Amino acid sequence: MNIAVFASGRGTNFGAIIRAVKKGRLKASLSLLVSDNPKAGAIGRAKRAGVKVALVKREDFASKNEFENKIIEHLENEKIDLIVLAGFMRLLSPELVQKYKGRILNIHPAILPSFKGGHGIGDAFNYGVKVTGVTVHFVDEDMDHGPIIMQEAVKIRQDDTPESLEARIHKIEHAIYPEAIKLFIEGKLEITDRKVKILA
């Protein structure tokens, strides 16, 4: 199975996936990193790990459609079976989602459907909830939406800062994202009526 990871930033989840592949936990080929940001830390991680990089900048294209067509070209060239979003800061079009329906995973640093968007950790912290967490889900046409594969709660402590909370959430992300990917690779995820069943 060929995997493409999409990342716009530091790529810490990408790093966790690289480690899981190297250790043999994920029986798949990490074939491609797609990034829209030439300054993304994920690009350096990819180069160090020998993962092919496709840098596709939105500003180089007249339309979102042309931008995504270039991405699809890279995906098809590498015969990608699974797309893993790891801090990719652009919404995918319904057309791209449909093309890879049931084959795109995302991780979000909150317990969805609460605190959607690009600031899940800070939004939960500022709202004052006592519990937040991490969600891994299949991607559909809506933002931070789609059938949920797994979630793990993280309690917000009295002495937490946004930074300390973020560090604990990232630790959980790095543990459960490879696990969710492993379930997909092994064919153990079944979507029925918008719910995910994990097969034995």
What CATH number is given to the structural domain containing 131? Answer: 3.40.50.170
What is the pLDDT averaged over residues 101-114? 97
191 with 150, same domain: the answer is yes
Question: Per-residue pLDDT for 47 more than 90?
Answer: yes
* pLDDT above 70 coverage of the chain, percent: 100
135 with 175, same domain: the answer is yes
What is the pLDDT averaged over residues 26-46? 98
Tens digits of residue pLDDT in 50-86: 999 999 999 999 999 999 999 999 999 999 999 999 9
Range of the domain at 112: 106-200
Angle formed at CA 174 by CA 173 and CA 180, multiple of 5 degrees: 75
Residue 118 CB contacts under 8 Å (≥ 6 apart), including other chains: 89
What mean pLDDT value characterizes the chain? Answer: 97
155 with 183, same domain: the answer is yes
The whole-angstrom separation of Cα 61 and Cα 70 is 9
CA 59: distance to chain centroid? 23
Per-residue pLDDT band at 88 (split at 50, 70, 90): very high
Tens digits of residue pLDDT in 161-185: 999 999 999 999 999 999 999 999 9
67 with 140, same domain: the answer is no
27 with 96, same domain: the answer is yes
Question: Per-residue pLDDT for 194 more than 90?
Answer: no
Question: Per-residue pLDDT for 44 more than 90?
Answer: yes
Give the pLDDT score at 41: 98
DSSP state of 9: S
| CA dihedral of residues 92, 97, 102, 105 (deg, nearest 10) | -10
Give the pLDDT score at 200: 83
Choosing from 74, 108, 137, 174, the catalytic residue is 108
The whole-angstrom separation of Cα 45 and Cα 19 is 11
Catalytic site residue 108? yes
Question: Per-residue pLDDT for 196 more than 90?
Answer: yes
